[in-house]
Chain A
Amino acid sequence: MIEKSLNPQSREAEFVAFRSGSLEFCINIMSVREIRGWTPATAIPRAPSYIRGVINLRGVVLPIVDLGVRLGLPGTEPTARHVIIVAQVGERAAGLLVDSVSDILSVEDTSIQPTPDVASQLARMFVRGVIAMDGRMISVITMDNVLPAGMDLEAA
């Protein structure tokens, strides 16, 4: 999806913007399946720290990624006001645990700037670019690397 929006021909794409800690992120709306409130997750044994566990999404076992921890920020202590963004990652689905969803942005892809070099290596794995808008800086998240690396091997 994001590849498409980086197409030289200027086109508009829609993004769902959300907050995690003090930072703002957004994700292409085409990969978002639904947004739901936080429900307690069941921990998965031997999982990386950023995997909060799994929840029951209408009969499907859905892993939940704590986006903050994944980006190297402090972990979230989820409350009922936290939000899970259910996103499609290739053939799989995963939930992103974030603080809140703020709005839906219509962005021309020419206004997405490349990730600044100052960003950490970790952040560059997930951030495809940044949008500067009304004094806010919003990072465009790509879901490709959000889940554990072992899963890509499984999928291949």
Chain B
Amino acid sequence: MDPMAEIRLTFFQECEEQLTALENGLLSMQEGDSDSETVNAVFRAVHSIKGGAGAFKLNALVSFAHIFETALDRVRSGDLVPDSDAMKLFLRAADALADLVSASRDGGVEVTAPYLAIEEEFNALIGGGGAAAEEDEFAGLEFRPIITAFDEPPSPARNVFTIRFRPLRELFAKANEPLALFRELARLGTLTSACDIKNLPFLDTFEPEDSYLSWELRLETESQRAAVKEVFDFVEGDCDLAIELAQPATATPPPQEMDITAILRKVREEAPAIAAAAAAAAPQPEADAAPKAAKAAVQPTIRVDLDRVDRLINLVGELVINQAMLTQRVLHSSHVRDREVTSSLEELERLTREIQESVMAIRAQPVRPLFQRMSRIVREVADATSKDVRLRTEGEATEVDKTVVELLADPLTHMIRNAVDHGLEGPEQRVAAGKPPEGTVKLAAAHRSGRVIIEVSDDGQGINRPRVLQKAIANGLVPPDAQLSDSEIDNLLFLPGFSTASTVSNISGRGVGMDVVKRSIQALGGRISISSAPGQGSTFTLSLPLTLAVLDGIVVTVDEQVFVIPLTAIVETVKHEPSRIHHLGDHSFVLRVRDVLVPLIDVGAELGVRGPTSDLRSGVAILIETANGTRSALLVDNIQDQRQVVIKSLETNYMRVDGIAAATILGDGRVAMILDVDALVGPRHHDWVAAETPLAKAS
């Protein structure tokens, strides 16, 4: 590469970082952080971009950055007070700057109307110095109370959570019991519950296996939200659940008796800090202290080629396989049964595991940049729909594999757009419904039981179920007389070609909707679920694997060949009795599982390992659930093992094979195929949902 191009490349890489810093800073300024360090960081970001752009003679970029910088300089010197309108302008300018940077990178730079309009607004803003100066005085008087907490740990703070819980029929089908959950909750604190029976039908339409009840629980507890949520871990996806913090712990701590010496000690400890805080020009509320500290502790980093990291990951994958082979061989050779050898092997295994985890961690990235991109989407859609929207993010530091982060961008964009465009009401409607005019979209990420959970929720109108059903019937997706449960109706949104927006806007509702989202999430090995309460909003929950490099699976044999079935798809293994198999002719079979008939698929015949047979009496049936919720049973000869396997692409040197997701290498060094359960089951679907669903293919 010629040296100039290389420097240019570095410049644009750095621009990305500067833009992130810029947006970070602006967002914390918008949250009310008027600290001079924050303003300086924002200013520096724009200034560096301008400087670099000048070196490469990117004139459009320079002139735009210049005017942006001028405005920021006024803020820095205190001539201009960043009120909410100014902040919105700054954020829009940051978006425009990002666009200009990427346009400059790709070549064609044109200063078009949008940029000029922002420049105009900047001129107006800087010109109007008089008005700003007046506001400035006011801002100088801004008073922020210093909160000193006297409640030491001995007098614990109590959170009050409101939990809305509605079990679905699947919850009962999996032998879960709400009462047990409530008991568990009651152990966290004081629990009061109210059961809602308004959905209970008359006896003539009563379906004994359906679920009609919902509860609203009030929990007063010392525990945090995570602990409350954990109680529901096992029923996740099988119930509609909303946990709200009705009253945070610090707001009104209950009066408690306190040891006077403890108070005195605390005052003595805090007094210098309070004095210092008072001396500072802009006293900060305590809550700001934590993010500040995090900001300060920026770890040194190095830039590494992704290829090198991937090579390292491959090598470590090799090491793991080799270590497994070595262990197997040593333990099988009978005369080496030395204790020392065995313990050395165990040590080796532990070390390789640790190396593997550390190497995987290199690829892990926080979701923060992804969430930041979403805040831009929210701004754009909010502008286009003239809605007032605030994006709240939670758990931005949650780390996920780089590839997962990258592939999440599109589906997440779509969901955010939907939430703002369809989910939230206009300001008037919101006020009429007794809500604040500003709608909230929440984006939260967290690690839970080895997976990443990402939630997109809004406090809008919720899913209009009658309209969804009506639309589905009109589109012929559902027979007119279908009796669907609420969650079944919600899931209609994931059908291809479904769009409820009666007018097609240019933001969402082009008919490519949630089905595309669902398919891309599935392609990542994830699942998506939806829950909604009319008038209170909707929540989409994504559950994703931490990495695309390994998966948990069970190892099965079919006619001497070894296959791996991903564990995420498996519901249970079914005791195989010939009396439960029913022949449908044409080599089709169904298996009866607790009075439900599911298609039985002979993996051997389906993959052409052996010819079709009508003798299905031997073997093990594995009940699986595809990503769209339909169930089937796979017939295999034997189950060997359950283990974590390293995913190896079959496409690198060969090509995509229908019914096979990827390959892996087992402990004995041989290659085994990982089944693509959805594709295996796909063409056989008979119910109406599946009939409309084209075979989901990972692109």
How many interface residues does chain B have, given as a range? 20 to 34
Nearest residue (CB) in B for A51 is B654
The complex places the Cα of A87 from the Cα of B651 at a distance, in Å, of 17
Docked-complex contact B318 and A59, CB < 8 angstroms: yes
User: Is B660 interfacial (CB 8 A cutoff)?
Assistant: yes
Task: Count residues on chain A whose CB falls below 8 Å from chain B CBs.
Answer: 27
Nearest residue (CB) in A for B607 is A45
Docked-complex contact A60 and B673, CB < 8 angstroms: no
- Hey, which chain A residues are within 8 Å of B321, CB to CB? 56, 59
Docked-complex contact B654 and A42, CB < 8 angstroms: no
Q: Which of A96-104, A111-119, A146-154 contacts B (4 or more CB under 8 A)?
A: A146-154
Nearest residue (CB) in A for B558 is A45
- Hey, which chain A residues are within 8 Å of B656, CB to CB? 154
Nearest residue (CB) in B for A147 is B654
User: Is A44 interfacial (CB 8 A cutoff)?
Assistant: yes
- Hey, which chain A residues are within 8 Å of B125, CB to CB? none
Chain A, residues 56-75, CB within 8 Å of chain B (1/0): the string is 10111111000000000000
Docked-complex contact B671 and A54, CB < 8 angstroms: yes
* Contact partner, B648, options A47, A61, A93, A150, Cβ 8 Å: A61
The complex places the Cα of A68 from the Cα of B607 at a distance, in Å, of 25
CB proximity to A under 8 Å, residues B305-327: 314-315, 317-318, 321
The complex places the Cα of A41 from the Cα of B561 at a distance, in Å, of 11
Docked-complex contact A46 and B608, CB < 8 angstroms: yes
Docked-complex contact A63 and B653, CB < 8 angstroms: yes
- Hey, which chain A residues are within 8 Å of B317, CB to CB? 59
Q: Which of B321, B648, B655, B656 gathers the greatest number of chain A CB atoms within 10 Å?
A: B655
Known: A45-B657, A151-B655. A56 touches B609 (CB 8 A): no
User: Is B537 interfacial (CB 8 A cutoff)?
Assistant: no
Chain B, residues 640-679, CB within 8 Å of chain A (1/0): the string is 0000000011111111111110010100011111000000
The complex places the Cα of A93 from the Cα of B654 at a distance, in Å, of 9
The complex places the Cα of A147 from the Cα of B653 at a distance, in Å, of 10
Known: A43-B561, A45-B607. A61 touches B663 (CB 8 A): yes
Nearest residue (CB) in A for B646 is A59
Docked-complex contact A44 and B657, CB < 8 angstroms: yes
Docked-complex contact B671 and A42, CB < 8 angstroms: yes
- Hey, which chain B residues are within 8 Å of A44, CB to CB? 650, 654, 657, 660, 673
Known: A45-B609, A154-B655. A56 touches B670 (CB 8 A): yes
* Contact partner, B650, options A55, A59, A61, Cβ 8 Å: A61
Docked-complex contact B318 and A58, CB < 8 angstroms: yes
Known: A42-B672, A54-B671, A61-B648. A92 touches B653 (CB 8 A): yes
The smallest beta-carbon distance between B238 and chain A, in angstroms, is 34
Q: Which of A43, A45, A62 gathers the greatest number of chain B CB atoms within 10 Å?
A: A45
User: Is A40 interfacial (CB 8 A cutoff)?
Assistant: yes
Known: A42-B672, A42-B673, A45-B608. A61 touches B652 (CB 8 A): yes
Nearest residue (CB) in B for A149 is B655
CB proximity to A under 8 Å, residues B455-495: none
User: Is A94 interfacial (CB 8 A cutoff)?
Assistant: yes
The complex places the Cα of A46 from the Cα of B654 at a distance, in Å, of 13
Docked-complex contact B653 and A60, CB < 8 angstroms: yes
Known: A45-B660, A56-B665. A61 touches B654 (CB 8 A): yes
- Hey, which chain B residues are within 8 Å of A51, CB to CB? 654
CB proximity to B under 8 Å, residues A100-156: 147-148, 150-151, 154
Docked-complex contact B660 and A59, CB < 8 angstroms: no
Docked-complex contact A93 and B671, CB < 8 angstroms: no
Known: A42-B561, A46-B658. A62 touches B669 (CB 8 A): no
- Hey, which chain B residues are within 8 Å of A147, CB to CB? 654
The complex places the Cα of A131 from the Cα of B331 at a distance, in Å, of 52
CB proximity to A under 8 Å, residues B364-379: none
- Hey, which chain B residues are within 8 Å of A151, CB to CB? 654-655
Nearest residue (CB) in A for B563 is A45
Docked-complex contact A154 and B651, CB < 8 angstroms: yes
Nearest residue (CB) in B for A59 is B318
- Hey, which chain B residues are within 8 Å of A42, CB to CB? 561-562, 663, 670-673
Docked-complex contact B657 and A92, CB < 8 angstroms: no
Nearest residue (CB) in A for B318 is A59
Docked-complex contact B652 and A92, CB < 8 angstroms: yes
The complex places the Cα of A42 from the Cα of B664 at a distance, in Å, of 11
Docked-complex contact B658 and A56, CB < 8 angstroms: no
The smallest beta-carbon distance between A41 and chain B, in angstroms, is 8
Docked-complex contact A60 and B652, CB < 8 angstroms: yes
The complex places the Cα of A42 from the Cα of B662 at a distance, in Å, of 13
Nearest residue (CB) in A for B319 is A59
* Contact partner, A148, options B314, B649, B655, B669, Cβ 8 Å: B655
- Hey, which chain B residues are within 8 Å of A61, CB to CB? 648-650, 652-654, 663, 665, 671
The smallest beta-carbon distance between A145 and chain B, in angstroms, is 15
The complex places the Cα of A43 from the Cα of B562 at a distance, in Å, of 10
The smallest beta-carbon distance between A90 and chain B, in angstroms, is 11
CB proximity to A under 8 Å, residues B428-468: none
The complex places the Cα of A151 from the Cα of B651 at a distance, in Å, of 9
- Hey, which chain B residues are within 8 Å of A150, CB to CB? 655
Docked-complex contact B671 and A56, CB < 8 angstroms: yes
The complex places the Cα of A9 from the Cα of B322 at a distance, in Å, of 48
The smallest beta-carbon distance between B352 and chain A, in angstroms, is 14
The complex places the Cα of A151 from the Cα of B314 at a distance, in Å, of 23
- Hey, which chain B residues are within 8 Å of A59, CB to CB? 314-315, 317-318, 321, 648, 665
The smallest beta-carbon distance between A55 and chain B, in angstroms, is 6
The smallest beta-carbon distance between A49 and chain B, in angstroms, is 12
Nearest residue (CB) in B for A151 is B655
The complex places the Cα of A54 from the Cα of B321 at a distance, in Å, of 17
- Hey, which chain A residues are within 8 Å of B663, CB to CB? 42, 54, 61
Docked-complex contact A45 and B670, CB < 8 angstroms: no
- Hey, which chain B residues are within 8 Å of A148, CB to CB? 655
- Hey, which chain A residues are within 8 Å of B655, CB to CB? 148, 150-151, 154
Q: For the complex of A and B, list the 4 residue pairs with the smallest distance between their C-beta atoms, beginning with the closest.
A: A45-B607, A59-B318, A42-B671, A63-B654
17 more contacts with CB within 8 A, not counting A41-B671, A45-B609, A45-B659, are A42-B663, A42-B670, A42-B673, A45-B657, A45-B660, A46-B608, A46-B659, A54-B650, A55-B670, A59-B314, A59-B315, A61-B649, A61-B652, A62-B653, A63-B654, A148-B655, A150-B655
A-B contact pairs, 23 of them (CB 8 A): A42-B561, A42-B663, A42-B673, A43-B561, A44-B650, A44-B654, A44-B657, A44-B660, A45-B660, A46-B608, A55-B671, A56-B321, A56-B670, A58-B318, A59-B314, A59-B315, A59-B318, A60-B653, A61-B665, A62-B653, A92-B652, A147-B654, A148-B655
